[in-house]
Structure 1
Amino acid sequence: MDITETWNELIDVNEKEGWFHLHSKNSSYMIQIHPLGYPLHVYWGARLQAPIEVQAILPNFANETNLDRLPQEYPQYGSGDFRNPAYQALLEDGSRITELTYQTFRLYNGKQPLSGLPATYVESDSEAMTLELELEDAYSGLNVVLSYTVFAEFDVIIRSARFLNKGVKTLKLLRAHSASVDFQGGEYDAVYLSGAWTREATIRRSRLNPGTLRIESRRGMSSHQLNPFLALVSPAANEQYGEVYGFSFVYSGNFSIDAEVDSMNTTRVTVGINSFDFSWKLLPGEKLQTPEVVMAYSREGLGEMSRTYHRLYRTRLCRGAYRDQNRPILVNNWEATYFQFDADKLEEIAKVGGELGIELFVLDDGWFGKRDDDKTSLGDWVEHRDKLPLGLKDLANRIQKHVPQFGLWVEPEMISPDSNLYRNHPDWCLHAEGRRRTEARTQLVLDYSRQEVVDYIFEALSDVFIRAQVTYVKWDMNRGLTEIGSAGREPERQQETAHRYVLGLYQLLERLTARFPHILFENCASGGGRFDPGMLYYMPQTWASDNTDAIERLKIQYGLSLVYPAGSIGAHVSAVPNHQVGRITPLMTRGHAAMSGNFGYELDLTKLTDEEKEIVRFQVESYKRHRPLVQRGEFYRLLSPFEGNSTSWMFVSDDRKEALVFYFRVLAEANMPSAKLKLQGLQPDYIYQLADTKEKVSGDRLMYAGLAIPGLKGDFASMCIHLMV
């Protein structure tokens, strides 16, 4: 191909020189094939008008054969590169040495779905272009296709790898990562999210030093502890300035993201399924598709990286009717009643909710089997007749007299030892034969790697959803995977079980969302234990944390916003003293924190005073007015709860004619000077009117001189400011 030949202005190829230049609106990514056939990583960063001469990056690259010195796109094990490999295979002769070299390339408009896996998508082939590089090992016949998709309107590169055994002998993959990137330099900070149950999404930032920083989960899910995300940032980068390279893994199981700085001060980032306790047997002709990595570039700091992820995930990862619809305001009975309820009590809460304008009532845990505590009945998805003698259908009819929609909590991945399902099928849980079965929360994990288990749950839940007329499902998962083995799999494939579990989960969710397209599914795993892009593909929102304290939620929601749009974050007003930390926070502040995501209530509405009911009514009406802006607007972080006493963020409409600003001050301080808050994302020459004061202020003044913050009284105070042109 001639150097001037272009493909839809997204990918340039020069087959003779062996280079590939991918470019979106503001970024470029470049690959060069080495004379010996190794794909080399040449450049990723701000958009280039023309490809870089590879010699400018790699002097004498054609003569360099030491793989330890070459920046590679998909490095191998055992042939001279001592850094972290992207893949490794065990051959029948016991060797682990393969050498993938370039064979050919393919280009096509658009983006193909990944078999059995969640993935970003296009609605028109003109939105994106995909490059596939085919590599092969001559000795074993192992064939790998590296996929790269570039979007016209998003500064992202989407990468994955597809393995095929084209040889005549069986081989076993010991490592199968989705992407690897070599950066020429080690002067980066790493930004990632860590935490624990009720303490999710703490932002961490540290300088990369020689050695390896690993972000990973070995819990069978993406985990509370570390989110499947890493950003490399220039040391001076902040919210608005500096280069940022983001890696977000679209997967819900064991993962690893490694950032390795070697002795030559180069940095290698590898992303994929965690190789710990993983292997995958490939018979001749068999394939394995890896999950995809969304790699986002920004030269305008972390804020622009986040908004790139938000726009992409909101519109080209989330799917279904609720992708673009307003999400309903709900009340959930969990912290109101826990397991102690009957139909009359639930209807009382719904009646008050209807009077206050709430749109959805959600019945949480305790409605099925004989479940009066957390020790029984998971797997028995039939009504608890002592609590609901007339069943779910009758309850739904009673609720819908007051609130339009009825929703239900389920935990379908679990089984209680004290359940009819376990008594009938004790081998349906993950287990190692003859060994102890570790219980957590008095429950075991169903073996979703087995088709018969997935089929049973699909039919059981389908029956419940139809009978209860539900329009919302809260899907919970309350423990990690242990004794990860399957009675349905031969010994040499046992290390496939963790990944096959996730594939079984994805298959089930695909079937349920296809059968019930009108249901809004909300993801939950003891709160944020599985808040990842893979789940967003099936469920457009996630319960961020079981911690409902408004002040704690400032950190959790702020941290999650690094990657995930506000419209994907479930946030509720709960009672005080808060059930998790005992804090007493004003109802207004609790409302402002929850209104910064998908809004709801998690308390007994019948216990509110008349004054509190008026505040709730105002909050509900206010959120309904601002809901499109919160759920689909551009999000800007202004003040970090990790860095001071105040937190602030704002939402801006696409046309920049409307904005909603939230400000939170945690502790009151004596004799403090007046504060100003510098806004972001506004149009400098627009004149904005503040809804409360009717004051008119120019956009440039609000952004560069700042918005005056009035004095707030007491601890845990907050305010909300609405701006309109």
Structure 2
Amino acid sequence: MEDLPHMAIQFDVTTGIFSLETNGSTYQMQADRHGCLLHLYYGAPINGPADYLLTFYDRGFSGNPYDAGTDRTYSLDALPQEFPVWGTGDYRSTCLTVKRPDGSCGCDLRYKSHSIRSGKYDLPGLPAVYDTAEQCTSQTLEIELEDICGGLSVTLLYGVFPELDVITRSAVVKNTGTGNIFLEAVQSACLDFVGGEYDLIQFYGRHAMERNYQRSPILHGAMVIGSRRGTSSHQYNPFVIASERGANEDHGDCYGMSFVYSGNFTCTAERDQYDQTRLTIGLSGGQFSWPLAPGECFTAPEVILSYSGRGLAALSHNYHRTLRRHVCRGKYRDIPRPVLINNWEATYFDFTGDKILEIARRASGLGVEMLVLDDGWFGKRDNDSKGLGDWQVNEEKLGGPLSNLVETINGLGMKFGIWTEPEMVSEDSDLYRAHPDWAFALPGRKPVRSRHQLVLDFSRPEVVDHIYGQLCRVLDSANIEYLKWDMNRSICDVWSAAGDGYGCGAILHRYVLGLYGFLERLNRRYPDLLIEGCSGGGGRFDAGMLYYAPQIWCSDNTDAVDRLFIQYGTSFGYPVSAVGSHVSAVPNHQTGRITPMKTRGVAAMAGSFGYELDLSKITEEETACVRRQIADFHKFWPLIHDGDYYRLSGPSRPDCQRAVAAWEFVAQDRSEVLVNLVSLECHGNPPDLYVKLKGLEQAALYQDESSGSLYPGGALMTAGLPIPRPTVEYESWQIHLRRA
């Protein structure tokens, strides 16, 4: 038996079985007698081998490897596998398709060797889960597979974090031959289930209504979601869950796959002819073709796997802890982020330096800690049809150098931040006039416009370097402590004028690598800079971006009621600390809905908090409400940031008749809880409603901080807490309980 301390990774040389152990799961695979790496088991901890689950029958139209000889019961068309590839007789969705120099496709990978070591592998140029030297409990398993005909090897990477209950996966493909090959599809991870009935939970949407919860049974055939837009997209999120039929928030087996990548992706859920279920996720096959010269390697982006046998809430907690502490980085990973005011919905493009100072003075007096200057501060940017790419301060508009404005705002006791969109260019810009070939466009054709802008070719280092230089000059010119990085269109017309011969199949991945390289340089040069990711809101809300930006603008939709649903879906795979959320004006600019100031604050407090409205136009009552909200956010920040998040109601939870949205934050030691409630329906003579709390100490008493009432923890979880009757539409409540 080969293992490391704490037995997180074990290898039995007799059986060829690898066992990966976390506190709440066991993951097993086997290098079998033919050298094929078969998947055995993933689920609740077990003590012993699970190879008994493999079955062998002579199945019609399921082929057999040549080296199986006369054994017609051995078929990779039916056996569960770790990294299935095209060309072995497996006709299900596979992880790797290779085109050879002679035009043929396929490979046959067999086990060659492995190594086990302390610590977590890293992925040069790509975001990945990390461990720290102080907390290092992770371990790495590398398994090298080799094509039986030579010319190709694949190293499978596994990172095991026992306390987090996560296992990370990646793969490195190497051309060991003498001719060029093309990778036509690379999926980073596969989960095979030999039995059972599963649902696929995924999060679909559109601009301004992202990450809607959808649960569908995995039936015969393939369910495919993904993005072809150049970003992870508003339409489908690269986080999915396979749950056993009947699993809910508190019970049942649930398996998560989070793709740590911000570009095109594909996820396939398939139930095969023998009622087995396969789930794969990785780079989009339809728009991917990667040339690999002799000796070159290709590294697949990482996937974070997690298993919960205690339902969806526990699975979410695994991801929240992992992303919060082992994906997000930098100064603002753990400390409170400043409450900010963004001028966008207050002014749009129509502002001057004096108007910005007026907003800052009003906000400062209410306790707001940062002003963010949104679109329109640069070039000739007076509307959204020009100026992108010209990242020079418009001093005429601001009434002087940016440093003067920033110094005045700093003098008010406030920090300062700016909005940028570095990946884009306007045709009406000095940059485009000088370098039209830097924008994506097909040869001889006019490009597809979106929001009057084109996309810069970030697959070209000279383009990245130029924009990086411009942006650094702005950041160096003043005390700028926050940067909003936006990206406001999908990518089309994928062609690089650089003419390097890689073709469109490699450009989009090179684009994402260029983006990551840019962001990594910013993080290293400005370690105290708070970067917020954005792509028209939540169009690039993924674990990859969180590696560079610890928060992401959740949605361009700031309507408090719509945000409840958007934030509900987001919570399954991402922590509240990653959510950028603001209080905006009413009637809301996106929906026209009117909600109370308090309710807008309760909704926005399920994220990094701020305001996006003209504070000079609010009433005295609302002004007092703003002061209370800021004080409450600071008071509750440790609980909101580090507490366990529970969904108490929502689109999948009809126990409150969908009349209320409810969620809570519970301290790790269960000493306090913050219950959040928003009324969604208002009727005459309504029935009484109760919301059942979660995560409390069964035998403890909890005291309401406001009323002084005492409640038994067991009763709060079993019978629930009565919800006050709403007196106005969309009324809200926050109830803070402490263990007595």
Aligned counterpart for 1:114 among listed residues 120, 123, 148: 123
Q: 1:58 maps to what in 2?
A: 55
* Amino acid paired to 1:96: C
Question: What's the secondary structure of 1:69's corresponding residue?
Answer: coil
Bigger mean CA deviation after superposition, 378-387 or 122-131: 122-131
Establish whether residue 17 from structure 1 lines up as the match of residue 15 from structure 2.
Answer: yes
* Amino acid paired to 1:434: G
Q: How do 1:21-40 residues align onto structure 2 when only pairs under 5 Å count? A: 21-40=19-38
Q: 2:254 maps to what in 1?
A: 244
Question: What's the secondary structure of 2:206's corresponding residue?
Answer: coil
Establish whether residue 717 from structure 1 lines up as the match of residue 731 from structure 2.
Answer: yes
Q: Can you list the C-alpha shifts for 1:500-548, whole angstroms capped at 9, x where unaligned?
A: 0000000000000110011110000000000000000000001011100
Q: How do 1:373-452 residues align onto structure 2 when only pairs under 5 Å count? A: 373-452=383-462
Q: 2:61 maps to what in 1?
A: none
Distance 2:526 2:172 in 1: 31
Shift of 1:383: 1.3
* Amino acid paired to 2:659: N
Establish whether residue 667 from structure 1 lines up as the match of residue 665 from structure 2.
Answer: no
Shift of 1:459: 1.2
Aligned counterpart for 1:48 among listed residues 46, 49, 55: 46
Establish whether residue 224 from structure 1 lines up as the match of residue 256 from structure 2.
Answer: no
Distance 2:444 2:331 in 1: 47
Shift of 1:85: 1.4
* Amino acid paired to 2:567: Q
Question: What's the secondary structure of 1:150's corresponding residue?
Answer: strand
Q: 1:83 maps to what in 2?
A: 92
Q: 2:62 maps to what in 1?
A: none
Structure 2 stretches lacking a partner, 5+ long: 59-67
Q: 1:484 maps to what in 2?
A: 494
Distance 1:625 1:126 in 2: 31
Q: 1:702 maps to what in 2?
A: 716
Q: Is the CA contact 2:495–2:503 (under 8 Å) kept in the aligned structure 1?
A: no
Distance 2:672 2:196 in 1: 41
Q: Is the CA contact 2:121–2:159 (under 8 Å) kept in the aligned structure 1?
A: no
Q: Can you list the C-alpha shifts for 1:207-245, whole angstroms capped at 9, x where unaligned?
A: 111000111000000000000011111111111111101
Structure 1 stretches lacking a partner, 5+ long: none
Shift of 1:468: 2.7
Give structure 1 regions of 4+ aligned residues with deviation exceeding 6 angstroms: none
Q: 2:539 maps to what in 1?
A: 529
Q: 1:203 maps to what in 2?
A: 213
Q: Is the CA contact 2:375–2:419 (under 8 Å) kept in the aligned structure 1?
A: yes
Q: Is the CA contact 2:4–2:118 (under 8 Å) kept in the aligned structure 1?
A: no
Q: Can you list the C-alpha shifts for 1:688-709, whole angstroms capped at 9, x where unaligned?
A: 1101101122211211121122
Q: Can you list the C-alpha shifts for 1:578-621, whole angstroms capped at 9, x where unaligned?
A: 00000111111111101111111000011112221111111111
Q: How do 1:186-197 residues align onto structure 2 when only pairs under 5 Å count? A: 187-197=197-207
Question: What's the secondary structure of 1:43's corresponding residue?
Answer: strand
Distance 2:620 2:136 in 1: 56
Shift of 1:29: 0.2
Distance 2:179 2:549 in 1: 40
Shift of 1:399: 1.7
Q: Is the CA contact 2:227–2:266 (under 8 Å) kept in the aligned structure 1?
A: yes
Establish whether residue 615 from structure 1 lines up as the match of residue 625 from structure 2.
Answer: yes
Q: Is the CA contact 1:554–1:641 (under 8 Å) kept in the aligned structure 2?
A: no
Distance 1:142 1:130 in 2: 22
Q: Is the CA contact 2:56–2:74 (under 8 Å) kept in the aligned structure 1?
A: no
Q: Is the CA contact 2:354–2:398 (under 8 Å) kept in the aligned structure 1?
A: no
Shift of 1:51: 2.6
Aligned counterpart for 2:174 among listed residues 164, 172, 181: 164
Distance 1:535 1:628 in 2: 23
* Amino acid paired to 1:719: W
* Amino acid paired to 2:122: P
Label 1:350 to 1:641 Cα distance change in 2 as closer, same or farther (>3 A).
farther
Q: Is the CA contact 1:28–1:46 (under 8 Å) kept in the aligned structure 2?
A: yes
Q: 2:159 maps to what in 1?
A: 149
Shift of 1:492: 4.2
Shift of 1:469: 1.2
Distance 1:590 1:171 in 2: 55
Q: Can you list the C-alpha shifts for 1:86-119, whole angstroms capped at 9, x where unaligned?
A: 1011111111121111101111111121010000
Q: 1:328 maps to what in 2?
A: 338
Question: What's the secondary structure of 1:200's corresponding residue?
Answer: strand
Distance 1:550 1:468 in 2: 34
Q: Is the CA contact 1:667–1:714 (under 8 Å) kept in the aligned structure 2?
A: no
Distance 1:468 1:194 in 2: 40
Identity of aligned residues (%): 47
Shift of 1:401: 2.4
Q: How do 1:325-724 residues align onto structure 2 when only pairs under 5 Å count? A: 325-641=335-651, 643=654, 644-724=658-738
* Amino acid paired to 2:96: Y
Shift of 1:60: 7.6
Distance 2:715 2:88 in 1: 60
Distance 1:675 1:547 in 2: 29
Q: Is the CA contact 1:353–1:402 (under 8 Å) kept in the aligned structure 2?
A: no
Distance 1:56 1:441 in 2: 54
* RMSD between superposed Cα atoms in Å: 1.4
Q: Is the CA contact 2:205–2:235 (under 8 Å) kept in the aligned structure 1?
A: yes
Q: Is the CA contact 1:358–1:403 (under 8 Å) kept in the aligned structure 2?
A: no
Question: What's the secondary structure of 1:366's corresponding residue?
Answer: coil
* Amino acid paired to 1:36: H
Shift of 1:389: 2.9
Q: Is the CA contact 2:282–2:301 (under 8 Å) kept in the aligned structure 1?
A: yes
Label 1:684 to 1:186 Cα distance change in 2 as closer, same or farther (>3 A).
closer
Distance 1:41 1:489 in 2: 42
* Amino acid paired to 2:642: R
Bigger mean CA deviation after superposition, 75-84 or 315-324: 75-84
Q: Is the CA contact 2:10–2:19 (under 8 Å) kept in the aligned structure 1?
A: yes
Q: What is the number of residues matched between the two proteins?
A: 722
Distance 1:328 1:317 in 2: 21
Q: TM-score, normalised by structure 2?
A: 0.96
* Amino acid paired to 1:712: P
Q: Is the CA contact 1:635–1:649 (under 8 Å) kept in the aligned structure 2?
A: yes
Q: Is the CA contact 2:416–2:482 (under 8 Å) kept in the aligned structure 1?
A: yes
Label 1:372 to 1:6 Cα distance change in 2 as closer, same or farther (>3 A).
closer
Shift of 1:141: 1.4
Shift of 1:292: 0.6
Question: What's the secondary structure of 2:7's corresponding residue?
Answer: coil
Q: Is the CA contact 2:40–2:53 (under 8 Å) kept in the aligned structure 1?
A: no
Distance 2:136 2:381 in 1: 52
Question: What's the secondary structure of 2:345's corresponding residue?
Answer: helix
* Amino acid paired to 1:612: E
* Amino acid paired to 1:710: P
Question: What's the secondary structure of 2:601's corresponding residue?
Answer: helix
* Amino acid paired to 1:55: Y
Question: What's the secondary structure of 2:474's corresponding residue?
Answer: helix
Question: What's the secondary structure of 2:459's corresponding residue?
Answer: coil
Aligned counterpart for 1:104 among listed residues 96, 113, 129: 113
Label 1:319 to 1:6 Cα distance change in 2 as closer, same or farther (>3 A).
closer
Q: TM-score, normalised by structure 1?
A: 0.98
Question: What's the secondary structure of 1:335's corresponding residue?
Answer: helix
Question: What's the secondary structure of 1:400's corresponding residue?
Answer: helix
Q: 1:315 maps to what in 2?
A: 325
Q: Is the CA contact 2:4–2:117 (under 8 Å) kept in the aligned structure 1?
A: no
Q: Can you list the C-alpha shifts for 1:609-666, whole angstroms capped at 9, x where unaligned?
A: 2221111111111111111211221100001146512110000111111111101111
Distance 1:403 1:366 in 2: 24
